[in-house]
Amino acid sequence: NYSAAWLKYQLLEQDYREKYADLFSDIYLEINDQKIKKSIIEELELAIGNLFNKKVNFVSEPESAKLCIVDFKNNIIKNDNKIKKLNNDQKKDAFLLVNKDNRLILAAKNSNSKLYGLFKIFELLKLKKDLKNIHLFKQAANNIRMLNHWDNLDGSIERGYAGKSIFYKDNKLRKKLTRIKDYARLLASVGINSISINNVNVFEEETKLISEKFDLVKKIYHIFSAYGIKIFLSINYASPMEISNIKTADPLADQVINWWQNKVKKIYEEIPDFGGFLVKADSEGRPGPFTYGRNHAEGANMLAEALEPYGGILIWRCFVYNCQQDWRDYKTDRAKATYDNFKYLDGEFNDNVILQIKNGPMDFQVREPVTPLFGAMPKTNQLLELQITQEYTGQQKDLCYLIPQWKEILDFDTYAKGKESQVKKIISGDMFSQTNTGFAAVVNVGDDYNWTGHDLAQANLYGYGRLAWEPSLTAEIITKEWIGLTYTDDPEVLSTISEMLLSSWSIYENYTVPLGIGWMVNPDHHYGVNVDGYEYSRWGTYHRANHFGIGVDRSVKTGTGYTGQYFEENAEMYESMASCPDELLLFFHHVPYTYMLSSGKTLIQHIYDSHFAGVEGVERLQILWKGLADKIDAKVYNNVKNRLKLQLENSIEWRDRVNTYFYRISSIADEYNRKIYK
């Protein structure tokens, strides 16, 4: 038993139903892919059955149909201006939805796009939109719209906060597969087209997914391919050593090259449209090419060459840094690692290699700058990696809606090619004319009834899909849509949940870590406050607070030199305290507590104020939610209510510990004399 999330279909209101029922009576479907055809038929039966309480009827000629699902080239549509203008060589998924003489025409670039267009129709119906005058053209901005699962075969999920894996249990595939199918439906409905199905840390059992456990992969593949979603596997770089007798994993050794080529050949014999591999190598203890004195390009290209004949893709993660650092060392800066490890290799990677780069230089903190690697490798395919699972943003106990954060990342101007070189243009491939580019994200899903632990955390998954398709959508639009599709279009519910979601990131930031410094969490599990939790550890994650100030000097002039990795305009902006944006000040500079921020407050006063404001923000969330008691399903209502209660306790703990810590260390009192424990 689990929630249908945003794919709930209830009988539409009578007036609206009567207006449109006729449009969905006789349907013509032109489609080659038999698996997707079957899915489309099932989806139509389900949605139209429930929304209109009627059966759908398929006809064999477009002329006699009211709803026509066709290719762009079909005669009934090919003269449409939008389609004429489309460059047909363009790889990007696209569809056009138009009402012509009281017939609804869904024309699409390919089978996948027919599915996307169909879900769009259901969405419009659920939101009671006008279909009489519709002329809607949608084209995906990004070719790759991917999710990464960090699921292990034993059913655990690394950084999972919503129960156990929906795929695996006890080192086997789960017995019931219907939930996986419903998951594929949810993903396709927001345009996701790729998925990696196991943790990037590939341990013993998971290493066997490319050998004795491959049958399991095939079963998952069949489910996802019916919804246009490609399967990728995370692989263990040392596989030849672990599942065969070869004594090395050196990417330049013939026996290793042959071993991978054979492996890949066998995979494609079984799954002809297998997506490819995702690799975490030489990172946090995982094996990789460094052991053999080879660089990342040599390491990645060997696998890419094995995949290339079949159209496969090799995704290589850039999360590579020294995790054995010494806190006494003020020169080594973890923030610099990604750029230092990859930038010099631009142009060395094969065309079917994509570098997957985390949004920030550290690790999915509530606030970090955008990594300087975006745009710095014009000859290399780049994929943005986001984290939907809320490792550092409340673990789906605290509410933290991430769409506003992702919008800032996507809109960040890198200046790679002068002004207007935003991240979204680099990862869409538009800036450097690339096709193997796009979005990836670590997903937040588990087997909890609501998929995401916190009911409202579903919005992060939904919004991710929408943004990956159309990064220019605003957070407000996505939010409204999600609420309308998941709950109701009641204006009070819409405005209340919108306010809750849209304010939640800044509330969370307020009561946790100030001005981009990050961390301050309990080590290992990363939940809850611990100001010095990572201060003297080996992970390179320091705040360097002392009696006078806090922050890491990353300037070129006096610090680690990290600011110098950005293009000039940004390098200059971050280099000086005066021009560095307040919200990132402590990431880039070591700042005295008495320093005046551009907000007109001293740093210490900002720390106090924001922490009091954070708790007040959570109280406001509680009040808002209480107002919906009669308007929201009891199970959902209670889930959110209970989590908000926990969030309040959590935020109070953060506020008091952080404020006390900085009061004790700075000896500066709060201007307003509020309660700070001495």
**Site for ligand GCU, rule CB under 6 A:** 158-159, 200-201, 280, 319, 363, 391
Q: Which is nearer to ligand GCU, 282 or 363 (CB)?
A: 363
Q: How far is the CB of 150 from ligand GCU (least distance, A)?
A: 7
Q: What are 533's two structure tokens?
A: 């939790």
Interstrand relation of 549-550 and 276-279 (parallel, antiparallel or unpaired): unpaired
Q: Which is nearer to ligand GCU, 93 or 391 (CB)?
A: 391
By the 10 Å C-beta count (0-12 exposed, 13-18 middle, 19+ buried), 124 is classed as middle
Q: How far is the CB of 11 from ligand GCU (least distance, A)?
A: 44
Query: Which residues does 552 contact at the CB level (< 8 Å), separation at least 6?
Result: 333, 517, 542, 543, 544, 559, 560, 586, 587, 588, 589, 590
Nearest to 202 by CA among 232, 237, 171: 237
Q: Which is nearer to ligand GCU, 113 or 236 (CB)?
A: 236
Question: Choosing from 93, 123, 305, 363, which is the catalytic residue?
Answer: 363
**Does an H or E element contain 70, and which?**
strand 67-71
Q: How far is the CB of 386 from ligand GCU (least distance, A)?
A: 11
Q: How far is the CB of 528 from ligand GCU (least distance, A)?
A: 15
Q: Which is nearer to ligand GCU, 306 or 357 (CB)?
A: 357
Query: Which residues does 430 contact at the CB level (< 8 Å), separation at least 6?
Result: none
Nearest to 362 by CA among 390, 386, 338, 393: 338
What's the gap between Cα 436 and its chain centre?
17
Q: How far is the CB of 448 from ligand GCU (least distance, A)?
A: 20
Q: What are 261's two structure tokens?
A: 């080529």
Q: Which is nearer to ligand GCU, 95 or 539 (CB)?
A: 539
C-beta of residue 231 within 8 angstroms of C-beta of residue 275: yes
By the 10 Å C-beta count (0-12 exposed, 13-18 middle, 19+ buried), 229 is classed as buried
Query: Which residues does 474 contact at the CB level (< 8 Å), separation at least 6?
Result: 407
Note if 391 is an active site residue: yes
Count the neighbouring beta carbons within 10 Å of the beta carbon of residue 201: 16
Q: Which is nearer to ligand GCU, 82 or 159 (CB)?
A: 159
**Does an H or E element contain 77, and which?**
none
Note if 101 is an active site residue: no
Q: How far is the CB of 524 from ligand GCU (least distance, A)?
A: 9
Note if 572 is an active site residue: no
Interstrand relation of 103-108 and 94-100 (parallel, antiparallel or unpaired): antiparallel
Q: Which is nearer to ligand GCU, 247 or 525 (CB)?
A: 525
Q: Which is nearer to ligand GCU, 158 or 670 (CB)?
A: 158
Q: How far is the CB of 363 from ligand GCU (least distance, A)?
A: 5
Question: Choosing from 13, 18, 284, 649, which is the catalytic residue?
Answer: 284
For residue 602, give the DSSP letter. Answer: B
Q: How far is the CB of 200 from ligand GCU (least distance, A)?
A: 5
**Does an H or E element contain 610, and which?**
helix 603-626
Q: Which is nearer to ligand GCU, 523 or 627 (CB)?
A: 523
Question: Choosing from 250, 391, 481, 609, which is the catalytic residue?
Answer: 391
In whole angstroms, give the CA distance from residue 195 to residue 184. Answer: 10
458 phi and psi angles, rounded to 5 deg: -55, -30
By the 10 Å C-beta count (0-12 exposed, 13-18 middle, 19+ buried), 61 is classed as exposed
Interstrand relation of 353-358 and 381-387 (parallel, antiparallel or unpaired): parallel
Q: Which is nearer to ligand GCU, 43 or 363 (CB)?
A: 363
Q: How far is the CB of 365 from ligand GCU (least distance, A)?
A: 11
Helix axes 403-411, 491-511, angle to 10 degrees: 70
**Strand spans (E) along 466-562:** 549-550
Q: What are 311's two structure tokens?
A: 């159209």
C-beta of residue 171 within 8 angstroms of C-beta of residue 154: yes
In whole angstroms, give the CA distance from residue 31 to residue 28. Answer: 10
Q: How far is the CB of 157 from ligand GCU (least distance, A)?
A: 10
Q: Known catalytic residues? A: 284, 363, 391
